[in-house]
Structures are given as C-alpha cells and as structure tokens.
Structure 1
Amino acid sequence: MVERHRCSISVGAFCPASPADHDYLQSARSLGLPVIPITENRSLDIGVLKQILRVIRTETIDIVHAHDFRSNVFALLAAKRSGIPAVTTCHGWIANSVKGKLRCRLDQGLLRWFDRVIAVSGHMAQTLPRFGVPQKRTTVIVNALVVENYQPGRDGTLRQEWEVPTDAFLVGNIGRLSPEKGQDLLLRAVQQLVVRKPRIHLVFIGIGPQESLLRSMSRELGIEDRVCFAGFQKDMARVYRNLDLVVQSSHTEGMPNVVLEAMLMEVPVVATNVGGTAEIVQPVCEDFLIEPGTVEALVGGIERVMADRGRYEEKARRGRRYVAEHFNQQRRVELLMQVYEEVLAQRSGTSGR
C-alpha cells in the first residue's frame, strides 16, 4: 500500500531469542515486508534499545513509530539518542490489575514527549490533552481494513464443527476473553433470552485469561449447550459468514476492528457505546449502539435484531458501503504518509511546529 517513492518502512517485531515460530514475523514476510526481529529475554530488556539503535544506524531510519507502552519506552529513548523524531499511535489502554493500571499511567505520561501522537478515534483524541499532548501534535487516523479481503456471503460449514443447529440464530462475540470485554454480561443476557428466543446460540471466537471462568459460568447459568468456545480462528471471513449477529459487549475500546469487519461482511452488530465505536455505528444505524455495562441493554439490543432481521440486515449492507468509504486502508496510508512528511518538515525547520 505504501508508495515506494515516498516512504520505505522497516518493521521491528519484539520476539523471543528464537524467532523461527513467530507468527507475526512469518505473516509479514509472506507479504514481502522487510521485518527485523528485535529479540528480548524479558520485559523492558535493555538489550532491546541497543538493537533498535543499531537498526536506526544500519537502515538509515528517519522516524521511529511505536504502538504500545513497551515500544513507546524504547522508541523515545532510541529517537532521543539518534536525534530523529518519534511518532506513536494510541490504540487504547486496558487495566485489569494494579500493574496494568500503573503501565497505563506511565504510558500516558510518555505521550507528551512524542513529536506526533496518532489517535485511532476522535473520542480518543479528545482525551489526549489530559496527558499533556497539545492539539497541534495530535492527528486522528482511524483503524482501517483492506476492503477486498472481506467478501460477504453465507457458509454453514463452521456451524457443523461448532455443533450449532443450522436453523439457530447464532450470535458471535469476537476478541480476547478478558474482563474488559464484558463477556460475563453477555452470558447473562443469553440466559435471559433463551427463555423467549429458544433458537439463540452464542459462539466465542478468541482465547484469553477468562476462558475457564466463562466456561464455568455458562455451566452455572444452565446454558452450556447454547455456548461454544471456538478459540482462535485464522479465516475470519469464513467465521462472519456463519454468524447472524455480532455482539461487542466491551467496557472499553479504541476503534474496534471487529465492528468494522462485521459491517464489511454485512453482519448486523450490537455494540456498546465505548471509545470510537459510535463513530463507526451511529452513521449507519443508531439501534446497533447500546449503553455499556448492563445485561438489560444487551438483551434489548439482541432482541431488536432478532425481531426484525430483514431490516437490520439491510442496515448492515449499508454499513459495508459506509466502512468501505470511510475506513479503507488506502485512505489510512495516505494520512500516515502526511504525518511522516509533516513531522520531518517540522524537524528540519521548513514548517512551524
């Protein structure tokens, strides 16, 4: 996607001492991307900084771009040492523990030192002044997808693998099985719905620390036969073709790719109004949006779709057109190139900061 005459990108990937089985490295290389393994023996390994400094010298790097707390720390240190600008993208913060909250605070404190901070949603951009980031150093570049990779349709083959009846109304929850995703509330909502909507089934796509808890909870609620834990799925387009509805029950989000993907696959969505979710959903169908944190809102949102499937499927088809226009990868790359050019111009003194 990057115009070669404008920019050359080298991707640094944190990995263990033996990177041969690193999925990210393999995927990036299969796409022909220049990927450089950054090996580490522990979190915040000082050897990582030395490797990044060496890459900056050997590859003649002009800008360092980071994406999370760990890479933010090393990117800033390396950029300051090398005298080059540093850019970071804020995808959101998850704090499920005291340690997690501390990492979030530290990460937010680092933002003011970057030459440019990219927010993945307008909602997130509004929070950045609290962390000392001036508006003139903030740019909104929303998440985006390669539209051509998402071709809608129907495919019931996964239902057989998941032991879900072919005539079931199948709800999918996609993402890490973790407290911030609100999946416990979704299980309680399904328990209430089963009484009135006996055809409803739920499938969790993903893995995470709460899987055993959620499995136990489904048994305790008496809905174990209505819930499937499908784990990691590589072919996500195929997953969406087996779903009737995607539910995002999260307490926090940045700009959720799951909602973008569902709309590109023309699958109706029920999503909590957190982070940048409304920026995707509201222009398409306000009924897709619910308030976070309550079982009742989830029950109401799912029931609305089940009661009038034709209407909401038409809304989802409209959603594909909207996402394809406003969240496509080409547009995102162009905005990113503009950021790089502006930052370099500001550093060279050809443009005021």
Structure 2
Amino acid sequence: MKILHIISSGGMYGAEAVILNMSRTLNESSHSSILGVFSNSANPNLQLHAAATAQGIESHLISCTGQIDRTVPSSIRELAAHTNADIVHAHGYKADIYCYFALRTSDVPLVSTCHTWYDNDLTVSLYGAADRFILRNYAAVVAVSEDVRQRLLKAGVRKDEVHIVRNGIDLRPFDNATPSLREISSPANSPIVGLIGRLATEKGVDIFLRAAARVLAELPATKFVVIGEGPDREQLELLIDELQIRKNVFMLGRRDDMPGVYASLDIMVSASRHEGLPMAILEGMASSRPVVATAVGAVPDVIADGRTGVLVPSENVEALAAKIVTLLNDQTQRDSLGVAAKKLIEKEFSAARMTADYLHIYDQAIMTKEQYAAGAISSAISQGKTK
C-alpha cells in the first residue's frame, strides 16, 4: 500500500513527528510512505521536508502562495497520480481542505488525522469550523484523543468514520542517548528542568516560566530550558526579564539533537493549557525522564499520577512549582517515575502499534470507497433500466 501524507507544516512538532515515525515504520515493511509538504510563500517551514529527505523518505514540495492558492488542488491531484497513492492522508485544516477539493471526485480515499484544534482567535476558530465541516466527507477521520473525537462528532462527522489512534514513537533514538546540554549545568552540576513545545499560548510556556521563578526562590541553582520556536517568543523573553530569572533560563530554539536534550533533563515539564497527546511527553517518557504535566487533553491517558509521571491542574503556577521542587529534592522518586514511564511507552505507545492501527483504518477506508463506488454504479445502471 502507498500512503501519501499531505501537511502544511509549522515546524518540527507533534504532527511532523507522527508522520516521520509512521513513515519509517511503513517503509521498513511491505508498504511505502510519501510526503507532500506545503511550501508556503509567507512562511515555508520546510524542516519536515528536509528531515524526511535526510532519512531517505520520499518527499515533495507543494507550492502555495497566499491564503488561497487555486493551483494547489491540481498540484495535489498530480502528486497523487504521480505517486500512484492508494490513500491520501491529510494532517491539519489546510491540508484537509485542499485535499478535499483536489480529490473529492477521485477514487483515492481521503483520511485525516486531527491532532487538535487551538481556537485562540476568530480566524483560527473559523478555519477549525470549516475543517470539521469538510471532514464529514472523508472516508475516515482519526482523533488523537477523546476530546478531539467528541468535537468531531459534535460537528456532524459520522460515528463510524471517527477512530481514535494514540500517537506512537520510534523508541530507538532515545535508548542510551548521550546528554547534549550538560554544559548548561556546569560548573555546579545543577539540575536541569525543561519544556519542549511551540512558543504559543496553548503550550503554557508563560506558566512554566512563572513556576521557574518560584522554584528558584527555593532552589536557586536550578536551570530551566525551553526548546522550540513560535509566535510568542518576544513576549516570553520580556517575561523572563520581568521575573528576573534570565541567568537561570535558556531559550534554546529548535534543536536537531532531541534524544540528547531529553537525556540532559532531570525533569521534563508540559504546562499546556490545551493538548491532544503531545509527542514531547511520549519522547520524554521514552527517555526515562520524570514528567510533570498539566492534566489536559489525552495527557491523563498516558500519565498515571504518581506512577508514570505527575499531573497538575492547568494554569496553576503554585501547583506546578511545588511538584517540581518535590521531585528535585527526591532522586529516588525521579528514578522510579522514569523507569515506569519508559516501560509504559515500550508497551503501549510504539510506532509499530500506531502504524498497525492506521493500516487497519486505511484498509477500511479503501473498502468503504469501493463499496460507495459499486453502489453508485449499481444505482446508475438501475436508473438507466427504468428510463
């Protein structure tokens, strides 16, 4: 089976990691995965295309100029035909909408993964609403959490077309990785607490920084790192100065050595206000890191509080800071949580398991499309006989 993934990428984040993990697993089997990545004129974000190409995964750029580019549907049709795709798998509202208009009369089934929606402003809310309307016409729609599934059902997507597939990761890069940030903790061998995520409101980086200030009041040698880029960087830099924690906080941007980054952390934090199932949490747990995370989206499905990690309420600076301090003062608990976290990821959140779930959905989507086509032909023949 040939699967063509289409995405308008905003950088190397959760959806991109899912695509790469699945592509590697598919290409190591009898199936094949191909990427179509939007090259947006205003903000190309071609890191996924570059990463896929470097890993030997076939990837094509889809030129897109402006908010609406009427050439994109034909580009997608041509790419689907050129690659002889059996399935076109869209990721994100932009890909969903363009793929629908490109292939709505095609024999190629459309599948979408809804990683999540962040309705932070009116424009994004409208895009999300349009996306959920379009998805009613897809052969199958995948939600990464129950929250996303419920939003799809509320929007009118048929229950039998909505599936939940938990994200999965390739565990190999995170086994025995060499720490790459330890120079930050020198010369005092200070503990490092890290957050990995897009610098945007939904990720709660501001909450993390405010919690960092409270932790530093008790444990002043602690270092804090933030990995990622995004639209809120400038205001977050201003907040660091306002909190007077500049010498202990490192905004490291996007990194290409993530296994080494995770291996460097004494504690990993996810302070999100809204989430699906963050890949960063899964990767941190696969690296045997103790994770402190807000109990949002599908996070409680993977973190059992006190057993495989620690949960705190969202937007609660005091609770987040208190849990970080507790763990920093208890090496034994950190080690225990890290070991349990890795065991859980190995058992339930592997890329192999995720890919097997998707292959089952692809098979169903192809069967549904074939049955629909057969029904349409039968109806046309029947109508012809009655004339």
After TM superposition, the score normalised by the length of structure 2 is 0.83
Q: Partner residue of 1:325?
A: 347
Match 1:224 to one of 239, 246, 251: 246
- Percent identity over the alignment is 28
Aligned match for 1:100, one of 102, 109, 124: 124
Residues 184-225 of structure 1: CA deviation (Å, up to 9, x unaligned): 122221222222222222111111222221111111112111
1:52 correspondence with 2:76: yes
Q: Counterparts of 2:300 and 2:148 in 1: how far apart (Å)?
A: 12
Q: In structure 1, give the amino acid aligned to 2:255.
A: Q
Task: Call closer, same or farther: CA 1:167–1:234 in 2, change over 3 Å.
Answer: same
User: Which digits, 9 at most, give the CA deviation of each residue in 1:281-313, with x for residues without a partner?
Assistant: 127727611110111221222122123221132
- The answer to whether residue 269 in structure 2 is matched with residue 247 in structure 1 is yes
CA contact (8 A) 2:37 2:46 kept: no
Aligned to 2:182: 159
Give unpaired runs (5+ residues) of structure 2. 1-24, 376-387
SS of 2:104's equivalent in the other structure is helix
Q: In the aligned structure 1, how far is the partner of 2:118 from the partner of 2:187?
A: 36
Structure 2 counterpart of 1:184? 206
1:199 aligns with 2:246: no
- Aligned partners of 2:351, 2:136: CA distance in 1, in Å? 27
1:61/1:241 Cα in 2 relative to 1: closer, same or farther (>3 Å)?
Answer: closer
Is this contact kept in 1: 2:203–2:273, CA < 8 A?
yes
Q: Using the alignment, how far apart are the partners of 2:347 and 2:72 within structure 1?
A: 39
Q: 1:283 to 1:324 in 2, by over 3 A?
A: farther
SS of 2:68's partner is coil
2:322 to 297, 300, 317: 300
Does structure 1 conserve the Cα–Cα contact (< 8 Å) formed by 2:192 and 2:267? Answer: yes
1:344 aligned to 2:366?
A: yes
Matches within 5 A, 1:307-318: 307-318=329-340
8 Å CA contact retained: 1:251, 1:292: yes
CA-to-aligned-CA distance 1:291-349 (integer Å, 9 cap, x gap)? 10111221222122123221132121111011011111111111111111111112222
**RMSD between aligned alpha carbons?**
2.6
- Of the structure 1 ranges 278-287 and 170-179, higher mean CA displacement relative to structure 2 is found in 278-287
Q: Is the 8 A contact 1:85 1:115 kept in 2?
A: yes
Q: 1:46-79: per-residue Cα shift (whole Å, max 9, x none)?
A: 1111111122333333322101111001111122
Q: TM-score, normalised by structure 1?
A: 0.91
SS across alignment from 1:293: coil
Output the CA distance in 2 between the equivalents of 1:100 and 1:21.
Answer: 19
1:40, CA displacement in angstroms? 1.7
More deviation, 63-72/51-60: 51-60
Give the Cα–Cα distance (whole angstroms) in 2 for the partners of residues 4 and 293 of structure 1: 42
Q: Is the 8 A contact 1:192 1:299 kept in 2?
A: yes
Q: Give runs of aligned pairs for residues 257-296 of structure 1, distance below 5 A.
A: 257-282=279-304, 285=307, 288-296=310-318
Q: SS of the counterpart of 2:33?
A: coil
**Structure 2 partner of 1:74:** 98
What is the match of residue 144 of structure 2? 120
